[in-house]
């Protein structure tokens, strides 16, 4: 992907450090690859007292990727991704059965100084989402919106500014139809990005409510990282991730309420085994 990236990429690095891989569930994922290049993945999740299982297959052929997933609720999801369907484009078509109205078609276009994306639902009066980003030299400005053809109204519009440099990432996003301001920043303490700090401030203008979350990452060695985050409500979360072998990860995370230590903490465990 070239150019300033999609609108969804603005502030994504800070968000990923604060949220990615944190879980309070128990999950096991096992992947295998056949000689023909077909990747099969089975996932089992325990969330609360409920169990779910899904099986997916991914096959790559030239510039196309076919992903089919089946879960325990008899839902079948199929995604077809075509790279370079047209020059500098990416076409993604997804269909979900039995709820075929959940299907959508997405077209992404990438230029050195701009990118655009359009998503159209497959139901008779679809929701049309669109976004665009322009920029260069590590600076990107973008906007997005969603138009409901059934009601003739805009259901979403947002704008954002992002700055990406080797040592830091910063973003300001105006979301929720102008009602929410998000400011985030991520700073790497070394060139190898083994240690980083992140902060995100969200202010809801209609209620004058502020939420501040800070976090950090430290790479212990080539196979082990630790992360932590804390917000202004007193919720503290920690994460330990270790590569038991290349591409296979064991993740243990927990969340505590520092203002109510009498409450039991929440723990999560995820094991992903890949060939």
Per-residue pLDDT tens digits for 243-257? 999 899 999 999 999
As a whole number, mean pLDDT of residues 253-264 equals: 91
- In the predicted model, what is the mean pLDDT of residues 117-122? 95
Q: How confident is the model at residue 2 (pLDDT cuts 50, 70, 90)?
A: low
The overall pTM is greater than 0.85: yes
Q: How confident is the model at residue 184 (pLDDT cuts 50, 70, 90)?
A: very high
The first and second tokens of residue 120, run together, are: 């159209």
**Is the pLDDT confidence value at 177 over 90?**
yes
Q: Which is more confident, 180 or 37?
A: 180
Asked if 235 and 254 count as a contact pair (C-beta separation under 8 A), the reply is no
Mean pLDDT of the chain: 94
pLDDT at 73: 85
Average pLDDT over residues 260-275: 92
Name the residue ranges covered by the structural domains of the chain.
7-273
CA dihedral 77, 82, 83, 85 (to 10 degrees): -150
Task: Retrieve residue 23's tokens.
Answer: 């879980």
Give residue 67's pLDDT: 97
Residue pLDDT, tens place only, 43-102: 999 988 889 999 999 999 889 999 999 998 889 999 999 998 888 999 999 999 888 888
Does 174 have pLDDT greater than 80? Answer: yes
Q: What is the pLDDT averaged over residues 256-269?
A: 91
Q: Are 45 and 51 in contact (CB under 8 A)?
A: yes
DSSP output for 5-58: --GGGTTHHHHHHHHTT--SSEEEEEEEE-TTS-EEEEEEEEETTEEEEEEEEE
Q: What is the pLDDT of residue 37?
A: 87
pLDDT exceeds 80 at position 119: yes
Please determine, for residue 1, whether its predicted confidence score (pLDDT) is greater than 80.
no
Classify the phi-psi angles of 48: left when phi > 0, otherwise alpha if psi is within -120 to 50, otherwise beta.
left
Question: The domain 7-273: what is its CATH number?
Answer: 2.40.160.10
pLDDT tens digits along 208-233 = 999 999 999 999 999 999 999 999 99
Tens-place pLDDT, residues 11-28: 999 999 999 999 999 999
| Res. 109 pLDDT band, cuts 50 70 90 | very high
């Amino acid at each position: 992907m070239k150019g300033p990236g999609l609108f969804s990429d603005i502030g994504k690095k800070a968000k990923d450090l604060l949220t990615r891989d944190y879980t309070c569930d128990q999950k096991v994922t096992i992947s295998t690859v056949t000689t023909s290049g077909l990747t099969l993945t089975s996932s089992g999740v325990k969330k609360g007292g409920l169990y779910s299982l899904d099986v997916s297959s991914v096959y790559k052929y030239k510039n196309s990727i076919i992903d089919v997933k089946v879960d325990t609720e008899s839902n079948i999801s199929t995604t077809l991704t075509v790279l370079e369907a047209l020059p500098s484009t990416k076409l993604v078509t997804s269909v979900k059965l039995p709820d075929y109205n959940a299907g959508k078609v997405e077209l992404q276009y990438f230029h050195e100084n701009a990118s655009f994306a359009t998503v159209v639902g497959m139901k008779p009066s679809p929701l049309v989402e669109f976004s665009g980003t322009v920029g260069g030299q590590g600076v990107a400005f973008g906007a997005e919106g969603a138009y409901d053809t059934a009601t003739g109204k805009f259901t979403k519009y947002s704008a954002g500014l992002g700055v990406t440099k080797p040592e830091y990432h910063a973003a300001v996003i105006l979301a929720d139809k102008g009602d929410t301001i998000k400011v985030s920043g991520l700073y790497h303490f070394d060139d190898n990005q083994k240690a980083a700090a992140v902060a995100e401030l969200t202010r809801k203008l209609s209620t004058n409510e502020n939420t501040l979350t800070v976090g950090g990452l430290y790479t212990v060695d080539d196979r082990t990282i630790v992360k932590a985050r804390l917000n202004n409500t007193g919720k503290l979360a920690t994460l330990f991730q270790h590569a038991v072998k290349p591409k296979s990860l064991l993740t243990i995370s927990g969340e505590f309420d520092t203002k109510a230590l009498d409450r039991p903490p929440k723990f999560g465990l995820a094991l992903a085994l890949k060939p």
